[in-house]
Structure 1
């Protein structure tokens, strides 16, 4: 390379057009990189591979912080050059989950990023399956408050992404233990970001706040972040917002369903931990009926979907779990909900028996349970009258349909 500098600029692989510099950068060979930079011309750092990446971009993609630092000492402008697909190095680092690289690059290029690129980077930090970049997202929020109202390509805000991530509100066991020993309260990464989001948004008028909680999809109906959280069982998300604004707990969707209706539908018991926050509105909220006059108990009577149970779980276990779920919800809602009928003149017990017919037929075929056994269990749980009424209504419906 000392004798023939063109070797440095030559493509090692014709199909990828990668040079020696690209290979060394992606592999993280620091000593080799230092010596290589002594031989390079200034414009050699800007050589692109077939995808449009500089060697610096490959170092970022591989999370090689030391090599990236060496290259920036040679030419600080490398951090401002876009990588393949027009992404900034910071966006690429967050997408690959390299938190150390992201923190290294952030102060160097964040001010030079266009707003669209900054928004995309912010959403990548929040949308990852782990929470390693939530601290960076929090820093971005503190410095660029407009991100609290920003939307991604799906029309969602940061509230929507956090609502669907209950794991982001759980703290690592070791950290919890250390904080307990030190007598300090530990806040999960998701909760820290949510608090900052709400601090910014709460300064807006009521109409703006409600708009932020709604998606603006290109197709389909808008969805509310509150009901996404209820569906996913993200009780901490809801608890934090309701504590800040109690009026949010009476919000309903397009079908007049509140968060407890949604929690009941998806068998999310954690949502019912919010009952103690209802105060004087407890009876009216828990006895509320949707646009089809279904109470919370009507919805709790339905078969649990695949979101709740593993497909490998047998029908007998599913039946017992569904029955237990129905019984648990019965203890929470007002007693008169058990006898309320919907627009189809069906009580919650009728819905349970009807919805579980296919599951029970499967049990009968496997000789695990008969209809008489199911009614007996139902009677022991809710009373013989409720069981007989449910059975009679179900038989009448079958006679009418046939």
Structure 2
């Protein structure tokens, strides 16, 4: 088999074009046969001739044959033919695609047998195409002079279709983006000619999908009716196609010329589709204007069966609850004040100001100061945080408008709201739930397929912020909801006894803290349920605590192993420090006076620093070792993970940190006492002594802080919320 690179000239006489398919295919087929590559094009299911050879690695051999055959076909194609198979990864598909597109063209107009060129033998065949074929060839090549000449002879060619592909000349010119030819063809066409579909698409749909605004404007200026013609395969109008492809210059133009009635619910899902996708890509101006002009779109489903309200429940990033910020970023976020009614204009102003500062070439003192401020803002990410808050404010403004519409809706329209509520609960968008329930309080009684209400589902998904909204209900309603059961007779406390979703557990460091969080959830839900509900049995005859124990057996084992491994490692470090510092207390720097037994450097201040830090390190390491031994000898009951074990770990890690820090201070002071006259070497060594402390803070301090906050912090549940009125 040939493996060296070859040129198209050694394979075929002429690369493939729309006139030479028959000869080209004969040349190429014979070449592929000679190179033993024709099997890759045929792609038969027959076993290979050399079974023993391919048995060793059949997939590799076939992939290699396919790649070589595909390469041979590609280099034998002209530009137009290659464009059809550029993305193909199969030699067979490439061969078949070229045959479907060029075989008929090569036969027309003179080589096609009369008996086959009939509508009965070729269902997609247009009898007038024979005389129009040169016209289509001229359109493909982008030659307007030739196109015009042939169009003058055959005016009806503008509405003729090519067999098999069913493409018109306008469709072909739009696909190939021959702007000049499209403009001229449109002038020759009637308005209804622009409505002709090829493969279910109008030429305007193709132009909108490609984002060619020049062609779009040309067609729309001829006919406004084509704006409302949807594609047959996915029911998309041109404006939706441009929106899905994110060609926003085209979208804004089409929106400006599309009659409002074409976007109304009674005309189809197109207006709702435009709102949904605009929200999804944060183009709130279009979405907000459409909702204000036609409120019913809020609960109208788009071509994919999703309403704008439902779409909002899919996007946590549009809400503050779906954005994670560091503490200093959160402080900046809280300091930024934006009025909802000015959010849209503020978005544009902030971008314009940023661009203006970036392009200002002034070298004045004021200009330099502005540049420094601008760079500082960029460094801190303030502009990004501000734009983020603008998006959040605008989203909440749209949501409030949706809630207004929802309060005046009923029946089937509200079914989509019910689905949106549980979708928002699953994603933890508590702002969505808060506003919807405040607008329509009766929705708190709705339930999903398992007959779990929104708060039970929030417990199942471990969305603490959504669950906290239950405290906005009055006590009577809260108690009633808390004691409802689902289809398996699981109450709210049973659901709390189930294991958290893995995605939520993975956000918590260590199995011990994960177990602690599970216990916190169970204890929290327990406070709002009736005493009898705490002993109620579900369909499996299990009480809530039994459900908790059954579902958390493995997590308890993982938590025990994590605690013991951490304690063992830290015990070794603490014992090592204890040994070193105990020995250092009796081998003081400079030694002792042989006659009096008093340390020689006792009168020096640094010596007292050494003694005190040595003692602190010794006592701290001893305490840490005792704490870690207490962890190793614990019983590891479920409730121990709530406070007992975390407290021991907090004390152990804290005292271990102090012992390491004090040990470094003792070492540095002793070193300075002994060789204080050689500061050029003492100071760098003392600086290096801070490295262990820094490493401990970097690796262990975040865990220590997380454990402390989780155990003694304010908790993840906020009961001090204002009740709904």
TM score, norm. by length of structure 1: 0.69
Q: What aligned pairs does 1:335-350 form with structure 2 within 5 A after superposition?
A: 335=527, 340-344=534-538, 346-350=542-546
The number of residue pairs the alignment matches comes to 365
CA 1:57–1:286: 2 relative to 1, 3 Å: closer
Query: 544, 550, 560: which one pairs with 1:354?
Result: 550
* 1:207-228 residue CA offsets vs partner (Å, 9 max, x unmatched): x27x543259xxxxxx644333
CA distance in 2, matches of 1:177, 1:31: 53
Q: What aligned pairs does 1:89-128 form with structure 2 within 5 A after superposition?
A: 89-106=238-255, 107-112=257-262, 115-123=265-273, 125-126=275-276
Report the counterpart of residue 195 of structure 1 in structure 2: 400
Q: What aligned pairs does 1:355-394 form with structure 2 within 5 A after superposition?
A: 355-357=551-553, 376=636, 378-382=638-642
Report the counterpart of residue 517 of structure 2 in structure 1: 325
Shift of 1:260: 2.0
CA 1:102–1:250: 2 relative to 1, 3 Å: same
* 1:351-402 residue CA offsets vs partner (Å, 9 max, x unmatched): 22211346668x59xx7699x9997162313589xxxxxxxxxxxxxxxxxx
Report the counterpart of residue 145 of structure 1 in structure 2: 295
Report the counterpart of residue 301 of structure 1 in structure 2: 497
Corresponding position: 1:274 with 2:469: yes
- Asked if 2 retains the 8 angstrom alpha-carbon contact of 1:150 and 1:158, the reply is yes
Query: 149, 154, 178: which one pairs with 1:3?
Result: 149
* 1:261-303 residue CA offsets vs partner (Å, 9 max, x unmatched): 1111012223134245235458626743424564434312212
State which drifts further: 268-277 or 248-257.
248-257
CA distance in 2, matches of 1:213, 1:57: 33
Corresponding position: 1:184 with 2:339: yes
* 1:28-58 residue CA offsets vs partner (Å, 9 max, x unmatched): 55456445556x4447953856413232221
Report the counterpart of residue 219 of structure 1 in structure 2: none
Shift of 1:72: 2.0
- Asked if 2 retains the 8 angstrom alpha-carbon contact of 1:22 and 1:54, the reply is yes
Q: What aligned pairs does 1:201-216 form with structure 2 within 5 A after superposition?
A: 201-204=406-409, 208=410, 212-215=413-416
CA distance in 1, matches of 2:503, 2:274: 25
- Asked if 1 retains the 8 angstrom alpha-carbon contact of 2:191 and 2:223, the reply is no
CA distance in 2, matches of 1:178, 1:360: 39
**1:69 is paired with a residue of what secondary structure?**
helix
- Asked if 2 retains the 8 angstrom alpha-carbon contact of 1:46 and 1:54, the reply is yes
Unaligned runs of at least 5 residues, structure 2: 1-145, 341-389, 565-631, 645-725
CA distance in 1, matches of 2:469, 2:208: 44
Report the counterpart of residue 232 of structure 1 in structure 2: 427
* 1:58-116 residue CA offsets vs partner (Å, 9 max, x unmatched): 11122222321122224444434444446432343344444443332234233246745
**1:214 is paired with a residue of what secondary structure?**
helix
Shift of 1:122: 0.4
**1:376 is paired with a residue of what secondary structure?**
coil
State which drifts further: 140-149 or 249-258.
249-258
TM score, norm. by length of structure 2: 0.42
Shift of 1:132: 3.9
Which structure has the larger Rg? 2
* 1:170-199 residue CA offsets vs partner (Å, 9 max, x unmatched): 59999x989965643544554333322221
- Asked if 2 retains the 8 angstrom alpha-carbon contact of 1:163 and 1:225, the reply is yes
> Could you say which structure has the greater relative contact order, defined with CA pairs below 8 angstroms and 6 or more residues apart?
1
Q: What aligned pairs does 1:146-185 form with structure 2 within 5 A after superposition?
A: 146-151=296-301, 158-169=308-319, 181=336, 183-185=338-340
CA distance in 2, matches of 1:245, 1:43: 49
Q: What aligned pairs does 1:19-30 form with structure 2 within 5 A after superposition?
A: 19=168, 21-26=170-175, 28=177, 30=179
Report the counterpart of residue 281 of structure 2 in structure 1: 131
- Asked if 2 retains the 8 angstrom alpha-carbon contact of 1:159 and 1:213, the reply is no
Report the counterpart of residue 207 of structure 2 in structure 1: 59
CA 1:16–1:244: 2 relative to 1, 3 Å: same
- Asked if 2 retains the 8 angstrom alpha-carbon contact of 1:21 and 1:36, the reply is yes
State which drifts further: 53-62 or 186-195.
186-195
CA distance in 2, matches of 1:225, 1:21: 43
**2:259 is paired with a residue of what secondary structure?**
helix
Q: CA RMSD in A?
A: 4.7
CA 1:258–1:113: 2 relative to 1, 3 Å: closer
CA distance in 2, matches of 1:130, 1:14: 40
CA distance in 2, matches of 1:188, 1:28: 41
Report the counterpart of residue 400 of structure 1 in structure 2: none
* 1:149-172 residue CA offsets vs partner (Å, 9 max, x unmatched): 445689865444433433343599
CA distance in 1, matches of 2:460, 2:281: 28
* 1:306-345 residue CA offsets vs partner (Å, 9 max, x unmatched): 66567xx9xx978546524323324533537597123146
